[in-house]
Amino acid sequence: MSRICELTGKGRQTGHNVSHANNKTKRVFLPNLQNVTLLSEKLDRGFKFRVSTHGLRSVERNGGLDNWLLKTKDEKLSANALKVKRELKKALKTAEAA
C-alpha cells in the first residue's frame, strides 16, 4: 500500500542519515498516516480515509471535510476523495435548485 495522504497528496521524502563523522546514508521519511472516518455535514455520513496528521489538522482548520474538498484541487486528491467531492457538488446543486 502506498504511503500517500488521500487528502493532501503528501508522500514519502528522501534524505540522508548524517553521522558524527559526516558520513551520509540514504533514508526515507514517511508521512504519519492514520485511518480516520471524516464526517460530511452536507451528505450526513462518514467517509473512511488514510490521512496524514498534517492533513487532518488542515481539514479541521478549514472547517471540516466539505470545505476542504471544495477548496482543494483535484490533482492532490485520491480517487476515493474525488468520488466524495463529486457527490458533494451534486448534493449542493440539488439543494440550490430546491
How do residues 15-25 score in pLDDT, each as one tens digit? 999 999 999 99
| Band (97; pLDDT cuts 50, 70, 90) | confident
Nearest Cα to Cα of residue 42 among 60, 61, 67:
67
The pTM assigned to this predicted structure is 0.84
**Tens-digit pLDDT profile for residues 39-94:** 999 999 999 999 999 999 999 999 999 999 999 999 999 999 999 999 999 999 99
pLDDT value at residue 8: 93
Residue 56 near residue 39, CB atoms below 8 Å: no
User: What is the 3-state secondary structure of 21-80?
Assistant: CCCEEEEEECCCEEEEEEEECCCCEEEEEEEEHHHHHHHHHCCCHHHHHHHCCCCCCCHH
CA 39 to chain centre: 14
